[in-house]
């Protein structure tokens, strides 16, 4: 995920602050991502640059990091021949 503005932990982000975000396009997948925060929903299309409130961008960043970590773990398990059981 590419962000134009850095939202550092030492400067708390407000919902009024907008951050430019582009989620990577993934061929063969549903490329619409839904994020909800405080009763508001956001539908983000992968591959397009969008401006989002900083807290929503933070949710997306965490989600993408977890997704990447999961894919790396699956790849390691497959490389070691242990399969993907246990998920």
* DSSP structure string for 51-80: EEEHHHHHHHHHHHHHHHHHHHHHHHHHHT
Residue 7's pLDDT is 43
Task: Report yes or no: 11 and 69 within 8 Å, Cβ to Cβ.
Answer: no
- Tell me the per-residue pLDDT of 70-82, one tens digit each, with 9 for 90 and over: 999 999 998 888 7
- Tell me the per-residue pLDDT of 12-47, one tens digit each, with 9 for 90 and over: 556 689 999 999 898 988 889 999 999 999 999 999
Of the two residues 45 and 87, the one the predictor is more confident about is: 45
Residue 60's pLDDT is 92
The token pair at 74 is 């699956």
Task: Report yes or no: 61 and 24 within 8 Å, Cβ to Cβ.
Answer: no
Q: What is the pTM of this model?
A: 0.66
């Amino acid at each position: 995920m590419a962000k134009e503005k850095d939202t550092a932990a030492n400067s708390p982000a407000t919902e009024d602050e907008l951050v430019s975000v582009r989620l990577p396009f993934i061929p063969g997948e549903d490329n619409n991502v839904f994020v909800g925060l405080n009763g508001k929903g956001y539908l983000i299309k992968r591959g397009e640059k969008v401006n989002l409130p900083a807290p929503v961008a933070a949710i997306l960043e965490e989600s993408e990091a977890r997704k990447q970590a999961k894919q790396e773990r699956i790849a390691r398990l497959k490389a070691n021949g242990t399969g993907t059981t246990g998920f």
